[in-house]
A and B are shown apart, each in its own frame.
Chain A
């Protein structure tokens, strides 16, 4: 049995594609092209969000000094190159907004749910290809609106990415009117995009699995993306509703979140975090799923505890709904309620630990292959443990009251979102790059990028724990204003310098990404020797993906199987056995 490769049949149907350029690459309904469109759009916003972060770090490290290149900024942002406090508020807000809604979320869900789900379950495309296209272009509109809000009069939204009312609800309080309104409008469009996408992903996983692809033969990445889509489907409309109410408060004079006429600011917090906590798991579950695929591949071993991994994903997805109050311990809500939220939050450590130990169990005594995606995946596990453990600290109300709204929280969110999700994304992009573009990313520069990022990332974010315990509040414009923070200023400078280096080394990834597209080594069908169905079709797969509907015979993690000579066993490859047919299990 030869390795499954592109056959003449498969290549023949590739030529049947006679769509015009516009239909093929711009208004495409092909899930792979839509995934790549999401990839390019979200990487752009990742760059925008990172640039805003650099400006913040300059102000925090070197307050009151003109920012290099600041002369290019208009007077309303940085007169004489010195950032204005109002502009700093916008930077904080827009950095969070771009990174959460326009970079990490679409990178994880828009890119990989689109690209991987049909390929991994053996489907020709999504259940609703045109809806999929609508989802991308709605996201595009949302991105344009959000980006434009940086340039409008009065500046971009400045009430934080959480947009706490009443600061966000009345232009007189934050000084921002049009920017905050565009923020709301953009998020409503983004919500629509996510809902359309989620509907599509859920329907596709349920209805379009290839014969033999039973629920418990799905790769963990598909399981994670499926549960994520359910979370997105049910959580994001809450944000849409809340953003619409906030928009009405600012524009047509309603009073949802404004106390003078009976509105409730706390209602915004409940609505936002009822969306926001499932959102946290939207931002980590797909990363966990893809890391599971990569770690099994890099360890050349079946994933340890496949079923427990699946149930842990489902458990995290469920628990994510009943913990939102842990963002609000300091909001003045009932302390008894805070205790119940504390307990439910601590419970999430259980499925998270199951996943972590299963990853370790997978690597244990494996034939470890430290290719670039594997390095990122292992870094994901390590960083997620740090971020997860600081999460357990904060879930405990007595500790949270002390560290609430400090840089400890900032360190935590960056350990899970950058150390977690973004490392997983670098790994996933490198891993599936050959399938997307038909070429390999350069492994040497990939490793250079990984090690430098890993180093500067930790030097940037780990000291933030220390700052936070020292009482350094987040979202402050000038830490030197506070006498008790002045001794901590050298740490701030240290963080800023490392943040600039962290930002600079991302150019290695950007160059590797762009140059490999044109000059990279041509990718084989299955460069990582992976079992997934996407590695049985050419790189990149043609329109329609599979020449004939594949049949699935195994789970996705049959590495080092004793049944075959190679150390991997593609899911669609039947294996001859000496067992008598009578012993076969009936049915599937």
Chain B
């Protein structure tokens, strides 16, 4: 190398090292930087509105159903774990759905002898995300039916009674509804986008077995997005539901 280019002033590099990460992964990390700022705008506004008001806020668990959403949170975390399993499966070259391990005696402990491949874990991830959105839609319908709307709490409804009894402060009910629906709604929108993207990848790439242990960039890239969406939800669940 040095001899071949002895005549040039500065020896040319073999290639610029760049980030050492392939384009899709780098691009997703960059895009997630933007997503962080988007949720910062929403969450930051919530913090300012909630802690900037001199009036008390509704106590946790009165309007929002914490147990149901805790289950939903668990479901989304499981979905993230499934994504890791999908990634690990394809990194080992397991493209199949489910297969049995003949070397292990079959008993009721399925996880010992049933081996999930990319197709199985990817589908499980999608199902986890879709169920999360479904439960969220159910929650919205339930809340709206009982009078909790983006504009505040409607009089003459179940939650309207709580306001009349003084359990839920009337002064902050309006911004409670505004911030709750905007933050969780945009998170739900992101989960939906993730589910739609994963469905596309499932039919276009996973089922036709386009991924292999040599190239599973799509799984890793959508996985980054999925873990991000999960992480945002853990923050939202804490600050919107629990405190």
The smallest beta-carbon distance between A1 and chain B, in angstroms, is: 12
A211 and B19 alpha carbons, distance in the complex (Å) = 14
A11 and B31 alpha carbons, distance in the complex (Å) = 37
Interface-lining segment among B46-54, B74-82, B103-111, B211-219: B46-54
Residue among A234, A551, A574, A576 making CB contact with B34, cutoff 8 Å: A234
A209 and B181 alpha carbons, distance in the complex (Å) = 44
Whether A207 touches B19, Cβ cut-off 8 Å, given contacts A199-B27, A262-B174, is yes
> Across the interface, which residues of B come within 8 angstroms of A256, CB to CB?
45, 49, 175, 178-179, 182
> Across the interface, which residues of A come within 8 angstroms of B243, CB to CB?
none
> Across the interface, which residues of A come within 8 angstroms of B165, CB to CB?
none
Q: Are B16 and A235 interface neighbours, CB within 8 A?
A: no
Name the interface residues of A209-266: CB closer than 8 Å to any CB of B: 209-214, 233-238, 240-242, 244-245, 248-249, 252-256, 261-264
The smallest beta-carbon distance between B100 and chain A, in angstroms, is: 41
A237 and B53 alpha carbons, distance in the complex (Å) = 25
The smallest beta-carbon distance between B204 and chain A, in angstroms, is: 14
Q: Are B27 and A127 interface neighbours, CB within 8 A?
A: yes
The smallest beta-carbon distance between B62 and chain A, in angstroms, is: 18
Nearest CB to that of A274 among chain B residues? B41
Residue from B12, B16, B27, B55 with most neighbouring chain A CB atoms (10 Å): B16
Q: Are B42 and A241 interface neighbours, CB within 8 A?
A: yes
Nearest CB to that of A209 among chain B residues? B16
Q: Are B33 and A233 interface neighbours, CB within 8 A?
A: yes
Whether A551 touches B30, Cβ cut-off 8 Å, given contacts A248-B150, A264-B52, is no
> Across the interface, which residues of A come within 8 angstroms of B52, CB to CB?
264
| B5-40 vs A, Cβ < 8 Å mask (1 yes, 0 no) | 111111111111011011100110011011101111
Name the interface residues of A49-72: CB closer than 8 Å to any CB of B: none
A562 in contact (CB, < 8 A): no
Q: Are B45 and A575 interface neighbours, CB within 8 A?
A: no
> Across the interface, which residues of A come within 8 angstroms of B8, CB to CB?
553, 574-577
B152 in contact (CB, < 8 A): yes
> Across the interface, which residues of B come within 8 angstroms of A574, CB to CB?
5, 7-9, 12
Nearest CB to that of A271 among chain B residues? B41
A335 and B18 alpha carbons, distance in the complex (Å) = 45
B133 in contact (CB, < 8 A): no
Whether A209 touches B18, Cβ cut-off 8 Å, given contacts A200-B27, A254-B151, is yes
B162 in contact (CB, < 8 A): no
> Across the interface, which residues of B come within 8 angstroms of A332, CB to CB?
none
Nearest CB to that of A232 among chain B residues? B34
Q: Are A581 and B6 interface neighbours, CB within 8 A?
A: yes
Whether A206 touches B18, Cβ cut-off 8 Å, given contacts A212-B12, A234-B37, is yes
Q: Are B18 and A581 interface neighbours, CB within 8 A?
A: no
Residue among A240, A267, A554 making CB contact with B45, cutoff 8 Å: A267
Name the interface residues of B200-233: CB closer than 8 Å to any CB of A: none
A563 in contact (CB, < 8 A): yes
Whether A255 touches B152, Cβ cut-off 8 Å, given contacts A203-B30, A234-B33, is yes
A198 in contact (CB, < 8 A): yes
The smallest beta-carbon distance between B7 and chain A, in angstroms, is: 5
A150 in contact (CB, < 8 A): no
A-B CB pair tally, cutoff 8 Å:
166
Q: Are B175 and A240 interface neighbours, CB within 8 A?
A: no
Q: Are A127 and B174 interface neighbours, CB within 8 A?
A: no
A195 in contact (CB, < 8 A): yes
A206 and B11 alpha carbons, distance in the complex (Å) = 21
Q: Are B150 and A252 interface neighbours, CB within 8 A?
A: yes
Q: Are B171 and A262 interface neighbours, CB within 8 A?
A: yes
The smallest beta-carbon distance between B241 and chain A, in angstroms, is: 19
> Across the interface, which residues of B come within 8 angstroms of A213, CB to CB?
16
A91 and B172 alpha carbons, distance in the complex (Å) = 37
The smallest beta-carbon distance between B190 and chain A, in angstroms, is: 12
Whether A253 touches B150, Cβ cut-off 8 Å, given contacts A262-B172, A264-B48, is yes
Q: Are A211 and B12 interface neighbours, CB within 8 A?
A: yes
Residue from A128, A199, A211, A242 with most neighbouring chain B CB atoms (10 Å): A199
Residue among A211, A241, A584 making CB contact with B13, cutoff 8 Å: A211
Whether A237 touches B34, Cβ cut-off 8 Å, given contacts A254-B177, A262-B175, A581-B6, is yes
B149 in contact (CB, < 8 A): yes
Residue among A128, A238, A255 making CB contact with B40, cutoff 8 Å: A238
> Across the interface, which residues of B come within 8 angstroms of A398, CB to CB?
none
Whether A128 touches B31, Cβ cut-off 8 Å, given contacts A206-B18, A255-B151, A262-B171, is no
| A132-151 vs B, Cβ < 8 Å mask (1 yes, 0 no) | 00000000000000000000
Nearest CB to that of A215 among chain B residues? B16
A497 in contact (CB, < 8 A): no
Q: Are A199 and B10 interface neighbours, CB within 8 A?
A: no
Q: Are B178 and A199 interface neighbours, CB within 8 A?
A: no
Q: Are A575 and B9 interface neighbours, CB within 8 A?
A: yes
The smallest beta-carbon distance between A583 and chain B, in angstroms, is: 11
Nearest CB to that of B43 among chain A residues? A241
Residue from A198, A206, A248 with most neighbouring chain B CB atoms (10 Å): A206
A100 in contact (CB, < 8 A): no
The smallest beta-carbon distance between A166 and chain B, in angstroms, is: 14
A208 and B16 alpha carbons, distance in the complex (Å) = 8
The smallest beta-carbon distance between B178 and chain A, in angstroms, is: 4
> Across the interface, which residues of A come within 8 angstroms of B37, CB to CB?
233-235, 237-238
Q: Are B150 and A254 interface neighbours, CB within 8 A?
A: yes
A162 and B186 alpha carbons, distance in the complex (Å) = 24
A552 in contact (CB, < 8 A): yes
> Across the interface, which residues of B come within 8 angstroms of A579, CB to CB?
9
> Across the interface, which residues of B come within 8 angstroms of A240, CB to CB?
38, 41
Name the interface residues of B154-182: CB closer than 8 Å to any CB of A: 171-172, 174-175, 177-179, 181-182
Name the interface residues of A170-218: CB closer than 8 Å to any CB of B: 195, 198-200, 202-203, 206-214
Q: Are A267 and B23 interface neighbours, CB within 8 A?
A: no
Nearest CB to that of B27 among chain A residues? A203
> Across the interface, which residues of B come within 8 angstroms of A235, CB to CB?
37
Residue among B12, B55, B171 making CB contact with A551, cutoff 8 Å: B12
A270 and B40 alpha carbons, distance in the complex (Å) = 13
The smallest beta-carbon distance between B9 and chain A, in angstroms, is: 5
> Across the interface, which residues of A come within 8 angstroms of B182, CB to CB?
244-245, 248, 254, 256
Cβ contacts A to B, 11 pairs, < 8 Å:
A127-B23, A131-B27, A195-B31, A209-B16, A237-B35, A241-B38, A248-B150, A261-B152, A574-B12, A576-B8, A584-B11
Known: A213-B16, A237-B41. 5 other contacts (CB 8 A): A237-B38, A244-B186, A254-B174, A576-B7, A587-B11
The 4 closest A-B pairs by CB, nearest first: A241-B41, A253-B151, A261-B174, A254-B178
Interface residues of A (CB under 8 A from B): 127-128, 131, 195, 198-200, 202-203, 206-214, 233-238, 240-242, 244-245, 248-249, 252-256, 261-264, 267, 270-271, 551-554, 563, 574-577, 579, 581, 584-585, 587-588
Interface residues of B (CB under 8 A from A): 2-3, 5-16, 18-19, 21-23, 26-27, 30-31, 33-35, 37-42, 44-45, 48-49, 52-53, 55, 149-152, 171-172, 174-175, 177-179, 181-182, 186
